[in-house]
Structures are given as C-alpha cells and as structure tokens.
C-alpha cells in the first residue's frame, strides 16, 4: 500500500470516529486461519477471538455470542499488537537537513501536528504501544499522547519521555548554533550536577512524562563537541540521582548509551534499559545480567545509508559504530541479556518499524526471540501486564499478517489488520 493510500485510510478512520464514535464498541469476533502464541512459540488454528469492551472475552468458545459481528480475516496469522520501545514520533531526521534547523525554525505545535501523521503510520504498521524516548522542547510528545488517549487522533498508546535529560553541550542538547540561540536549562532537560538533574526529572514528570530518557554518552546526530561518539557525559552520582528521583515518581529510566564506560555507569546507576548499547564489553554483559537491565538495540538503521546532506562528522561516527552494533547484539543475545525491540523510528521514515524484525534475524536473533522482543519482553520492560499476548482478560490489541512469521519474518512488514483496545484501525 502506498503512503498516500495509508494517509487516506487514516483520514477515513478519523472521520468515522469523530462522526459515529468508536467502531469497537460492539461485540466482535476476529476469525483467522492461524494464531501465534508468542509465549509457547507455537502456531495453531483456526482461531476465533471474542472481544467485548476492548478486552478479550474468550478464545475459540464452543458458541459465539448471539450479538457478535464476525470479522473474517481468512488466511492470516493473528498476533498480539506490537511494541516499539524506541521511537521519536514528533521528530523527523530523514528529510534532508531538516533535523539541523527544526529546533530553531519550528515549535512544539509544529512537532505535535507532525506527530499525528507519524503516530498514525506507526499504528498502521501494527505497533499498538510505543515509548517515545525524547522530543524537542515544549512537550509535543505529551500532547500527542493525550490526543490519542482522548480518541482525537489514531495512534499507538504512547509512553512519552518529554525532554531528554542531557549535560550542557551534550548529545541531547541543541548545539551547533551561535551563543544565545536555544540556550536551555533543567526544565528542558539540560542539567548539570545532582541538584539540576533532580529538577529536570521532576519537571518532566510534572508535565506528563511516563518514562525518563537520559543521554549518558555522546551520539551520532549531534554537534556536541569533539568528544568520541560514546564518551561518558554524566557521572555515576548524577545518573544515580536521575534514577532515584524517577523511581520515586514511579518512572523508569532509559539511557542512551553507545560507549562502554557510559553503558556500564548507567547500568550501575540502575537504569531500566540501555538504548543502542553499541559497544558492549564482557563487563557490560555481566552487569546487565546482574541488574536485569534491558538492551534496546536498533539494527535496521545500522545498515541504512545516511541522507546525502548529512555532515561528514556524523557519517564518520555512524560508520565507526556499524560493525560494533552487530557484535554487541550477538554478544548480548548469546549471553542471555534481556532485550526489547526498538527501532529509533524518526531517524528513518515512520511506519517502517516492522523492518526491524528482519534486521534482527539477519544479525543472529531467531525469529521467535525477535517477536518476543516486540511483545512479552517489551511489556516486561514497560511494566505492563495487560497486553503483549492473546489471552482472556487481556487488551484486545491484535494484528494479523499473511503467512507464518516463524517461517518468514519479513511478513512482519506486511500487516493487514490492526486492532487496538477492540477498535479496528486497519482491515484488508
């Protein structure tokens, strides 16, 4: 389906919701040739799932409810709705040099409006729950979450981070401009020292963040000085303060970390997940297993060429990390480190999240494990137990694909049916 057809379909869904109310209010039966049990790793069928009030009421009952409407999916494999634990729904890093100028040319309303389109594309790809791990100033990600929760626009359930927590001039600070332009402080996440990082965390929580994102090391897409891409940017004491304050507020911490020292320091501080984790050492593996820390790797973007307008320094940093990302993924998988699926969508076009599965498999992760990373493992990282599997009493977050993803993982790029909390957003 072309991007234009996807956008038209989203418009139809939105108009219908506004005019007639949620189309998922009735009792539904979703019928398909097969169902994937991600916990057991088995495919069975045929299957009929009864859905009432947004929840799964029964699976393959002897008799269907008399008032139910049957949605016949035919030769499809029914699966739980997918999770993406690393998105940037209100950002666009792949349209020329837009990512360089956006922080000074655009504003939070611009990014929130862009997020409406990107959230719709993400939902259409089968991802019904996401973490949005950092946005530009003004909380556009929180506004997007609230619009989706209200039913104003279609999109996945969003766990927004608000502003990145970053050192002054660090990877997640807005840099590269003349002094005095977009100079930010703790309210916008830019904070130094224990007192300031505590203020930064509290301010994000006050304004709706559901996860805290800290940039523990340098990164690829930044003009953050001449430090190496993986250089440590926060001390252990600062990272411990961030985690301690977030946990008191009921929030988990995701740490952007490429370099080994930054990874190890963040794990020791108690973060819940390491994002990217590009340069893992044996000590990193040991620490992550001891602490139960999740790795959220991004493999699909690792093999993508950067846009031709990308600065040479950014290209060089990306090239340096490419082989190390693969080595770290394989080391983590073989050692049994907890892993959840994350795509970094926004650095490449939104709606292509499903391509992460084939990239993981091509780099040594078995199909079932990759699927668990996007369902039950991601649910564990997020701290939710009401979704991620097809089971009685769980949320009716369902998708369907042609074929069997255990035989051909690329079918995850061809989602034909999407239901979130009992409401159908895509059916072909």
pLDDT for 144: 98
Question: What DSSP string describes 143-180?
Answer: HHHHHHHHTSS---EEEE--BPBB-TTSTTS--SS-TT
| Domain spans, the chain | 3-81+389-427, 82-382
What's the number of CA atoms in the CB half-sphere (13 Å) around residue 257?
35
Sequence-distant (6+) residues with CB within 8 A of 380 are 338, 340
Distance of alpha carbon 428 from alpha carbon 417, whole angstroms = 6
Taking only the tens place, the pLDDT of each residue in 324-342 is 999 999 999 999 999 999 9
pLDDT for 17: 43
Q: How is domain 82-382 classified at the CATH fold level?
A: TIM Barrel (3.20.20)
For residue 123, report the phi and psi dihedrals to the nearest 5 degrees.
-65, -40
Identify whether 344 is a catalytic site residue.
Answer: yes
Q: Which one of the listed residues 84, 132, 157, 213 is annotated catalytic? A: 213
- Residue spans of the chain under pLDDT 50: 1-4, 6, 11-24
Distance of alpha carbon 311 from alpha carbon 96, whole angstroms = 11
Distance of alpha carbon 116 from alpha carbon 109, whole angstroms = 11
CATH entry 2.30.40.10 includes domain 3-81+389-427 = yes
Q: Which one of the listed residues 344, 372, 397, 420 is annotated catalytic? A: 344
**Termini Cα distance of the chain:** 10
Q: Which residue has the tokens 């307008």?
A: 309
Taking only the tens place, the pLDDT of each residue in 110-123 is 999 999 999 999 99
Sequence-distant (6+) residues with CB within 8 A of 384 are 129
Identify whether 213 is a catalytic site residue.
Answer: yes
Asked if 188 and 163 count as a contact pair (C-beta separation under 8 A), the reply is yes
CB atoms within 10 A of CB 55: 15
3-state class of 43 per DSSP? strand
pLDDT for 336: 98
Sequence-distant (6+) residues with CB within 8 A of 28 are 50, 51, 52, 68, 69, 70, 71, 396, 422, 424
Full-model pTM? 0.92
Strands (E), 212-347: 212-215, 253-257, 273-276, 294-296
163 CB burial (10 A radius; 0-12, 13-18, 19+): buried
């Amino acid at each position: 389906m072309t991007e234009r057809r996807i956008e038209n379909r989203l418009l139809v869904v939105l108009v219908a919701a506004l005019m007639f109310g949620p189309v998922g209010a009735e009792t539904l039966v979703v019928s398909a040739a097969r169902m994937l049990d991600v916990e057991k790793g088995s495919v069975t069928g045929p299957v009929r799932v009864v859905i009432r009030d947004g929840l799964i009421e029964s699976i393959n009952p002897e008799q269907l409810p008399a008032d139910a409407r049957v949605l016949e999916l035919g030769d499809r494999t029914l699966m739980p709705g997918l999770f993406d634990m690393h998105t940037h729904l209100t950002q666009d890093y792949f349209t020329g040099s837009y990512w360089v100028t956006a922080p000074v040319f655009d504003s939070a309303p611009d990014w929130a409006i862009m997020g409406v389109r990107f959230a719709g594309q993400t939902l259409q790809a089968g991802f019904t729950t996401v973490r949005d791990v950092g946005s530009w100033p003004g909380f556009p990600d929180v506004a997007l979450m609230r619009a989706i929760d209200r039913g104003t626009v279609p999109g996945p359930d969003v766990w927004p981070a608000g502003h990145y927590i970053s050192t002054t001039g660090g990877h997640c600070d807005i840099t590269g401009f003349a002094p005095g332009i977009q100079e930010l402080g703790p309210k916008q996440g830019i904070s130094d020292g224990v007192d300031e990082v505590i203020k930064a965390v509290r301010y994000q929580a006050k304004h709706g963040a559901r996860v805290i994102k800290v940039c523990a090391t340098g990164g690829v897409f930044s003009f953050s000085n001449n430090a190496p891409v993986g250089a440590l940017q926060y001390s252990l004491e600062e990272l411990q303060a961030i985690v301690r304050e977030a946990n008191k507020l009921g929030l988990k911490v995701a740490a952007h970390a490429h370099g080994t020292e930054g990874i190890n320091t963040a794990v020791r501080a108690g973060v819940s997940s390491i994002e990217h984790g590009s340069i893992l050492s044996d000590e990193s593996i040991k620490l992550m297993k001891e602490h139960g820390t999740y790795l959220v790797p991004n493999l699909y973007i690792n093999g993508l060429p950067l846009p031709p307008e990308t600065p040479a320094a950014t290209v060089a940093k990306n090239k340096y990390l490419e082989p190390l990302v693969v080595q770290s993924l394989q080391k983590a998988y073989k050692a049994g480190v907890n892993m959840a699926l994350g795509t970094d969508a926004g650095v490449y076009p939104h709606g292509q999240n499903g391509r992460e599965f084939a990239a993981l498999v091509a780099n040594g992760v078995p199909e079932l494990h990759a699927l668990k990373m996007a369902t039950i493992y991601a649910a564990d990282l997020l701290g939710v137990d009401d979704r991620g599997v097809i089971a009685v009493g769980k949320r009716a977050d369902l998708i369907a694909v042609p074929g069997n993803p255990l035989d051909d993982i690329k079918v995850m790029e061809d989602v034909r049916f999407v239901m979130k909390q009992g409401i159908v957003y895509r059916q072909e």
